[in-house]
Amino acid sequence: MALKLFNTLSRSIQEFAPLAPPKVGMYCCGPTVYDFAHIGNWRTFVFGDLVRRTLELKGYAVTHVMNITDVEDKIIKRVRLSRQSAATAKETKTSLREFTGKYEAAFFEDLKTLNCRLPHHTPHATDHIADIISLIEKLVARGIAYKAADGSVYFSIEKYRGCGCTYGQLLKLNFDEMKAGERVKSDEYAKESVADFALWKARVPEDGDVFWPSPFGEGRPGWHIECSAMSTNILGPSFDLHLGGEDLIFPHHEDEIAQSEGATGKPFVKYWLHGAHLLVEGKKMSKSLGNFFTLRDLLAKGFTGREIRYSLLTAHYRETFNFTFDGLSGARAALARIDECLGKLREIAGRDALPRVQADQQVGPTGLVKDFTAALDDDLNISAAWGAVFEWVRETNRRLAENSLDAAEAASALAAWDKVDSVLGIGTKSGAEIPGEILALAEARTAAKKAKDFKRADAIRDELKTKGWVIEDTAKGPKLKKI
């Protein structure tokens, strides 16, 4: 069956037909590295990972690009605040890299914690200044961009529309109130206000040493042009998929279309996908409400990346997701059910059992993989996909209870699970969930037992207990369990 997705561009569900199958070019707007990413951001990035994994399950060869926004209004402001006392301008520039580098490293760590596949390209805006400048030069040459009296270069909506191009492809805009030549310099401007936006921002004293030379004078790029330059540079003037949170539809994505199509004269992106926002306990996340959580905040509360990933994957991407701690606890319970079932299957399959049937034809009325894929084909219907998983768990548990699964059938069931999990990415409870310190203690205990130092082995067992872990000796060796 073909994959169907809701395309913001056509405001309808369309069959996904890439420009040059089996290749798919996919660009996801990445993090602005001025702070730790919050769970709202993570909802969007996990959604991007779901799209990529679904495409890969379906056999597409995806090139996944995610930019790192490392120069932008908010970053400059934070750097300025954190370095107000910087003695020299040079110190300020060094601090831009230091500042963004810290949050970028944290972002990649978090990406791993949530088991998101690493994008194939993660370009930095500051490494693409030459591409950005050449894109702006093209727009200036075509008469669509102009240098204003303040020294900055702006995109002219009027000139762009005058060329027969459409501004307002992703949403309907009201041009009646538009005043020709009215300009906005900020990266994030009022919703649906139609005004010329900055491509190149002339250097101002507040920027400190954060500026680059250009044919238009010293300055720095606007946020929107960064994404146009990096995406077309890596994926070409036209590509298949562009993703982001719904707040990016306007102005960011609308401006990306205008800049890219204005410069190349070619259609920019075939399918635009937008993820709805995340609320916490029914409310918009905000520091003043005390409901603002980074991924790290949740890990510190004792939740695992796996539980958080599961939770973020429970709602359809176009529905607002209400994140709750009850939901996270529910994720823990659901994962335990899956783990228990998989653990039993593994015991029966043993190590060497070969699957008797192909993963795609396994257990359930029509087969787990088939039901699961059919659900995702329907605009990533994740609720139906989980429905297929839990139906399979129920059916498998029934077969396990009646002792009617042999090793080869259990191996087939596991092969089916592996295929489904190539999209879900929740894996199984593994050593990775056990802290290194605990694993080291368990190994020390095994060594002590081997050396017949039972006193020491018992002391380590007690120490593990005080740290919240019990160790059980089984026929297959010692097993660690959280108390």
| Cβ-based nearer residue to Zn ion, 187 or 371 | 187
Q: Which residues within the stretch 200-259 sit at the binding site for Zn ion (CB under 5 A)?
A: 227
Q: How many helices and strands in the chain, by DSSP H and E?
A: 15, 15
- Residue 277: contacted member of Zn ion, ligand AMP, none (CB under 5 to 8 Å, by partner type): ligand AMP
Q: Is 43 in the site for ligand AMP (CB under 6 A)?
A: yes
| Cβ-based nearer residue to ligand AMP, 123 or 355 | 123
- Residue 97: contacted member of ligand AMP, Zn ion, none (CB under 5 to 8 Å, by partner type): none
Q: The tokens of 35 are what?
A: 């702070």
Q: Is 32 in the site for ligand AMP (CB under 6 A)?
A: yes
Piece in contact with ligand AMP (CB under 6 A), picked from 24-32, 76-84, 300-308, 365-373: 24-32
Other CB atoms within a 10 A radius of the CB of residue 41 amount to 20
| Cβ-based nearer residue to Zn ion, 25 or 364 | 25
Q: Is 29 in the site for ligand AMP (CB under 6 A)?
A: yes
Q: Is 63 in the site for ligand AMP (CB under 6 A)?
A: no
Give the nearest distance from C-beta 29 to Zn ion in angstroms: 3
| Cβ-based nearer residue to Zn ion, 136 or 227 | 227
Q: Strands 23-28 and 61-66: what pairing?
A: parallel
Give the nearest distance from C-beta 321 to ligand AMP in angstroms: 8
| Cβ-based nearer residue to ligand AMP, 37 or 173 | 37
Report which residue's Cβ sits closest to ligand AMP. 245
Give the nearest distance from C-beta 42 to Zn ion in angstroms: 17
Give the nearest distance from C-beta 309 to ligand AMP in angstroms: 15
Class of residue 193 by CB neighbours under 10 A (exposed 0-12, middle 13-18, buried 19+): middle
Q: The tokens of 356 are what?
A: 């008797």
Q: Is 79 in the site for Zn ion (CB under 5 A)?
A: no
Residue 227's identity, in one-letter code, is C
Q: Identify which of 371, 395, 393 has the alpha carbon closest to the alpha carbon of residue 383.
A: 371
- Burial letters 293-316, b for 16+ CB under 10 A, else e: bbbeebeeeebbbbbbbbbbbebb
- Helix, coil or strand: residue 431: helix
Interaxial angle between packed helices 129-141 and 223-235, expressed in degrees from 0 to 180 and rounded to the nearest 10: 100
DSSP secondary structure of 218-247: SEEE-HHHHHHHHHHHHH-SSEEEEEEEGG
| Cβ-based nearer residue to ligand AMP, 75 or 153 | 75
Beta-bridged to residue 69, according to DSSP, are: 32
- Helix, coil or strand: residue 119: coil
Q: Is 410 in the site for Zn ion (CB under 5 A)?
A: no
Piece in contact with Zn ion (CB under 5 A), picked from 25-33, 111-119, 127-135, 468-476: 25-33
| Cβ-based nearer residue to Zn ion, 29 or 280 | 29
Residue window 218-257: x/- pattern of binding to ligand AMP, with contact defined by CB under 6 A: --------------------------xx-xx---------
Residue window 26-55: x/- pattern of binding to Zn ion, with contact defined by CB under 5 A: ---x--------------------------
- Residue 227: contacted member of ligand AMP, Zn ion, none (CB under 5 to 8 Å, by partner type): Zn ion
Piece in contact with Zn ion (CB under 5 A), picked from 11-19, 21-29, 203-211, 388-396: 21-29
| Cβ-based nearer residue to ligand AMP, 119 or 245 | 245
Other CB atoms within a 10 A radius of the CB of residue 8 amount to 21
Q: The tokens of 103 are what?
A: 């949050």
- Burial letters 61-89, b for 16+ CB under 10 A, else e: ebbbbbbbbbbbbebbebbbeebeebeee
* Pairwise CA distance, residues 79 & 71, whole Å: 10
Residue 253's identity, in one-letter code, is H
List interacting residues with ligand AMP (CB under 6 A).
Answer: 29, 31-32, 40-41, 43-44, 244-245, 247-248, 277-278, 285
List interacting residues with Zn ion (CB under 5 A).
Answer: 29, 227
